[in-house]
Amino acid sequence: MKFMRMPLAEAEGALLAHSLRTSQGAFKKGRLLSQEDTVALRVAGIEKVVAARLDAGDISEDAAATQVAGAARGEGVSFNTAFTGRCNLYAEARGLVVVDRGRIDQINLLDESLTIATLAHCDVVMPKQMVATVKVIPFSVPGRVVEAATEVALHPAPLINIAPFTAKQVGLILTRLPGTKQSVLQNTIKTVRARVETVGSTLIASEVVDHDETAIGAAIERLHARGSKIILISGASAIVDRRDVVPLGLESAGGTIDHFGMPVDPGNLLLLGHLGGGARWTPVLGLPGCARSPKLNGFDWVLERLAANLEVTSKDIMLMGAGGLLKEISSRPQPRHDSGLVEKGVRREPAIPAILLAAGQSRRMGSVNKLLAEIGGISMIRRVAETIQASKVGPLIVVTGHEADQVRAELDGCDVIFVHNSNYADGLSSSLRAGIGALPEEADGALVCLGDMPHVAAAHVNKLVAAFDPVEGRAICVPTSNGKRGNPVIWGARFFSEIASVSGDVGARHLIGEYGELVCEVEIGDGGILIDIDTPQALSSVRRTGS
């Protein structure tokens, strides 16, 4: 192709490179100039134009894009009429787009004039969703480039296909240990059913059995006999080895372990196995713990492929690492919450401000406001505030009430946000409500601290922050010391409205019991998380120790 500024006398039959507007009318770029066009342009006072003329063997942009798109189009894919060198391909059914990354790269490496862009291999697509676009950059492409691209796109099979989801009967086994809550089992069933229905299948049965290989094996056999085409196992305890309870249960049912573990996070502890062979081949999946959460995880990727009748091998799973650090995708039709950890498709560190409750009347201390009492020359409230500020949380919101001016004075120079609770006499719940109301919108969670716990250290807080991950199901992080729960606690953003609705002189501890499946106990070891200063005797004891 020759691209140049040329006299109008030589421009007939050339492609106009830039749009022109004259008194004679508009001339769009890409227009094939006719003799009448050149006359009109000359009348408008134009003597030269920038235009392109195809060489022998060149293929025009629209024809080239159409040819390559047609070759790339496989099952379940349609394409539109090319325009300005672009031809788009669309899904005709709901399922997974199947592309060959290697061949995509081959086409794009042929020549800069021809490009193809696709969705990622095995992305979920909807009918009429664009899955790929072929774009010719200049006005034409050398015929040899188009022919080479066509060959790559067509062989050994069309480059882009849609594997539609097909209705499958799915069975679910849940195991229990002593202390396993019924609510956890019910929520797991609900979440798994939503996932199964999202890929067009049906959960036909769920069984709850003891966390024992014999019981698991018998349940697998029953679900297989009932016609389950996929069997899922959610263990009360995560699988940690090929010889763990769930894999042994699969083997006891005559099944085979194909792969354990995957380079996808969340989702590392997934087990892939199967029963039977041929027409009776039935995949069996041991689910990672994160599958109890509706958040995107590695289990989704495997379930989607199985529902689309795509083979999933050990090698397939081992090659999922590139892109396997998962982000939340808002367009995925699954019931998700706590998505604040994902911003513009990129997972990030959680934003966790702190609420320091400093409004109480210290009734058990008599006439002394315990928060103003000094320990080692520093008031208790300042000691706690400085500890929080030395940690990874922030900003720090201090809720004042009783003797608010004195509390403010004690925190002079500290970088804090004060919120006054004029209803402090109503109890702890009113201060929680005030603190929640002052949280920044971008908060993913909040650390709720008591002002009378001077033995809590910044390291304790940082351990809680490290554990907090609602995507993995750790939405409430509670410190423990030798199994006893203490304070402070990190609450995920999903609980803010419920905390704010609490009334009376109580905190939000009841929510820990109600949402046991989302609680993460973080062993601190230090008993300081259990000690609050409520009485003169407790204050004297702390002062005697000098800390």
Q: Please give the CATH superfamily to which domain 2-53 belongs.
A: Molybdopterin biosynthesis moea protein, domain 2 (3.90.105.10)
Rg (CA), the chain: 33
Asked if pLDDT for residue 344 goes beyond 70, the answer is no
Which pLDDT score is estimated for 471? 76
Paired strand residues for 478 = 521
What is the 8-class DSSP label of residue 504?
Answer: S
Domains 2-53 and 354-541 share a fold: no
Which pLDDT score is estimated for 34? 86
- The position carrying tokens 């928060």 is 371
Q: Which amino acid is it at 425?
A: A
Question: What are the structural domain ranges in the chain?
Answer: 2-53, 58-164, 169-336, 354-541
CA distance 165 to 97: 11
Which pLDDT score is estimated for 59? 94
95 vs 515 pLDDT, higher one:
95
Pairing between strand 519-523 and 476-481? parallel
169-336: which CATH number, 3.40.1000, 3.40.1350, 3.40.980, 1.20.58?
A: 3.40.980
Q: Using alpha carbons, select from 168, 174, 228, 220 the residue that is nearest to residue 197.
A: 168
Q: What are the CA-CA distances from residue 179 to residues 95, 175, 182, 474 (Å)?
A: 40, 12, 9, 19
Which pLDDT score is estimated for 340? 55
Element (H, E) at 303: helix 298-307
Residue ranges of the alpha helices (H) in 396-524? 404-410, 428-437, 458-467, 496-500, 509-514
Element (H, E) at 388: helix 380-389
Calculate the average pLDDT of the chain.
89
14 vs 30 pLDDT, higher one:
14
Q: How many CB atoms lie within 10 A of CB 263?
A: 16
Q: What is the pTM of this model?
A: 0.71
Q: How long is the chain?
A: 547
pLDDT band at 482 (very low <50, low <70, confident <90, very high): confident
> 288 and 267 in contact (C-beta within 8 Å)?
yes
SS3 at position 255: coil
> 145 and 179 in contact (C-beta within 8 Å)?
no
Domain boundaries 58-164, corresponding CATH code: 3.90.1170.30
- Please tell me the least confidently modeled range out of 1-15, 265-279, 428-442, 488-502: 1-15
Cis peptide leading into residue 266 (ω within 30°):
yes
Query: Is the domain covering 354-541 a CATH 3.40.50.720 domain?
Result: no
Asked if pLDDT for residue 506 goes beyond 80, the answer is no
